[in-house]
Structure 1
Amino acid sequence: MKSHASDRIKIPQGFWTGLHQLGIAASDVACKARLPLAIITEPVVTTAQYFAIWQAYSDLVGDTANAIIKLATVFEASQYPPSVLATYHARDYRDALYRMARYKQLCPPESLRIAENKEHCTIDLGWLNTDQSGPSMLVGITLAFLLELGRRGTGQPLTAQCVKFTHEMGDIKSLEAFFGCRIQIGATCNQLTLHRSDLLRPFVSYNEELLEILTPALDQSLYEQQSSRSITETVKWIMKRSLTAGRPDIQTIANELGMSHRTLQRRLAEENTSFKHLLTKSRQEKAREYLADPSLDIKEVAFLIGYEDQNSFYRAFRFWEDDTPANWRTDYLNKA
């Protein structure tokens, strides 16, 4: 797993409080994860350690599905960190979800991408600063909490429309009862699909005064974080987490960065690159990453990096690597 200069994750104290309410000692989790007990009082860890903590919780509880449901519903609002409080006290469900996706950047490694169409709202889960996906437990709790947030905020028993997971999640019937919809296992992505009409529901927990305090502080922290990396790094990061939704365009990326597409073009030119070049590099790097995973077939890889048909992906890959995807994968796996 690759390390990163900003690969430092702070675990909120509410996490350990929640585990205690479920009868699980923080010390047992630390020992199971083979980490020092100091992480309980000074919980700043790397991505690898963070994943190990979630895997340890999963191993201690047993069935993944039931562990997801228990932890998603046990947290009280008083235990939420500021970034989550700003979503719980949002104006409505849409505002809450977009705040969650925005402020998730302050507390990696999870990354959320939201897309809306006529009737649906899909939320895809990705990862920051790592080429590996997190444990099934972390994937499940992240998507489950997004629905739980809507239920708590609106005071209504909301249900999802569809949930997709790439890996096994334990007792699927329990998860289907929690989400109120069918669960698809073995999908190409981890995704929560909501009824778009639910996004209009107001939050009974809306607190304008508190948001006026939290929002500027969180936005400033986010600005400082983004300013610490080059525009090239930032654009590539956004591109990579956007590829499964199709080929990202410059206006969409610019909007996410809060600037015009002309300003983005100028900033990239100042760093001696271009939007087109970064998109190509992002696709090439993600293609290598996905092809290194033998569980993904080549059609899936093409889709995951934004190609609508396999032939276009084949032509692009031969141009990048002077080889076919299948041959590249065989050579890579033989050397591994």
Structure 2
Amino acid sequence: MAKPKVTNDRFRVSSLLGDRLRERKVSVAEVLHEAGLPPHFLDQKKIHASTAQLFALWEAIGKVSGDPGIGLELGAEPRFERFDPPQIAAACSRNFRDALKRIARCKILICPEEIRVHPRGEETTVEFAFLNDECAEPDVLVDVCLSWTLAIGRRGTGGKVDAIGLELIRSAEHRELLEEHYGCPIVFGAKRNAIVFRTSDLDLPFITYNEELVKLLSEQLDQEIEAREAELGVREQVKRALKHSIAGKRPSREEVAKHLHLSLRTLQRRLQEAGVTFKQLVQDTRADLARQYLTDRSLELSEVAFLLGYEDPNSFIRAFQDWEGTSPGAWRERNCLN
């Protein structure tokens, strides 16, 4: 089943991308021509692109550069001066877990994209999801995202974080290049693009931690996030907050209000004005996520129940029956052919 589209389709593109391509002797003019974008697209102070434009841009970068490793190289950029504010905030976080949470929250500035962090015992998977994709994500863009995640962990901990697995939708082309870069086993032909870490590594302290800089950047980013969230209805805001907090526990109004920087009374009032209840949005969010998780056959039904905040798998099965009129297992068989 296709992912539900979100109404916003605007990514923020780094204003440094043009310079970074020129440094690598990649013709920006050729890239933009190949992508069907205006000649001065990357010269703007604030660059925004739709999903289609973003994918076309990264496809063109891969084609024009002729370098299968350019995404890995761009993602692993070591120079702080080439980081944008959200990336700097992540690098200056307290630990790897905090960095992932911080960048995930900042993604609201460059929606529609999410960072999904799935803890499963001793392993934690980090997945980048593009919410309005009607075609496959360009390999170069996937490389940038996953390589950047590993680089932030390694940089912050002084090289103590290692990837222990990689899942790629693509075929096994350039296997040696990818294995050398990530230093871990790779599953090709997977159902998602994701990188796997030891859960314990997420709590390793960052030697790059800078409390004052994080505070300064966070204040700036919070202002931008608040402005962006003002464009969204309360329904979408609450569902976004629930998706980030629902795994392994019963969602609460208090936690969602805190995530949205609202008082509990203000949240209740806005829900009432929108004609929707918190319970209804919890159920809607769980239903959306359930369909997403069930497409991953590596997840047992009990694990899906946990990720949706159910203490008892049977409660999840009964709820899913109400949503879809069938059991989770039957839905998975019907909708996931592979």
Give the shorter-chain TM-score range: 0.7 to 0.9
**2:35 partner amino acid:** A
Q: Which whole-Å CA distance do the structure 2 matches of 1:315 and 1:169 have between them?
A: 41
**1:113 partner amino acid:** R
Describe the superposition over 1:264-289 as per-residue Cα deviations: whole angstroms up to 9, x where unpaired: 56643432123443355456668899
Task: Report deviation, 1:248.
Answer: 7.5
Task: Report deviation, 1:290.
Answer: 11
Q: 1:100 to 1:299 in 2, by over 3 A?
A: closer
1:334 corresponds to which residue? Answer: none
Give the total of aligned pairs. Answer: 319
Contact 2:11 2:51 (C-alpha < 8 Å) held by counterparts: yes
15-24 or 139-148: which moved more? Answer: 15-24
Q: 1:286 to 1:135 in 2, by over 3 A?
A: farther
Task: Report deviation, 1:203.
Answer: 2.7
272-281 or 45-54: which moved more? Answer: 272-281
Instruction: List runs of 5+ in structure 2 lacking aligned partners.
Output: none
Q: Which whole-Å CA distance do the structure 2 matches of 1:49 and 1:168 have between them?
A: 24
Describe the superposition over 1:41-71 as per-residue Cα deviations: whole angstroms up to 9, x where unpaired: 123322211111011112234464x233222
2:26 corresponds to which residue? Answer: 24
CA-atom RMSD in angstroms: 4.0
1:13 to 12, 15, 38: 15
Instruction: List runs of 5+ in structure 1 lacking aligned partners.
Output: 330-336
205-214 or 257-266: which moved more? Answer: 257-266
2:39 corresponds to which residue? Answer: 37
Q: Which whole-Å CA distance do the structure 1 matches of 2:141 and 2:182 have between them?
A: 16
Task: Report deviation, 1:4.
Answer: 6.7
Q: Which whole-Å CA distance do the structure 2 matches of 1:253 and 1:69 have between them?
A: 36
Task: Report deviation, 1:148.
Answer: 0.5
Q: 1:173 to 1:2 in 2, by over 3 A?
A: same
Matches within 5 A, 1:151-300: 151-156=154-159, 158-168=161-171, 170-238=173-241, 249-250=251-252, 253=256, 256-258=259-261, 264=267, 267-281=270-284
Contact 2:76 2:144 (C-alpha < 8 Å) held by counterparts: no
TM-score (norm 2): 0.75
1:97 corresponds to which residue? Answer: 100
What SS does the aligned partner of 1:13 have?
Answer: coil
Q: Which whole-Å CA distance do the structure 2 matches of 1:201 and 1:105 have between them?
A: 26
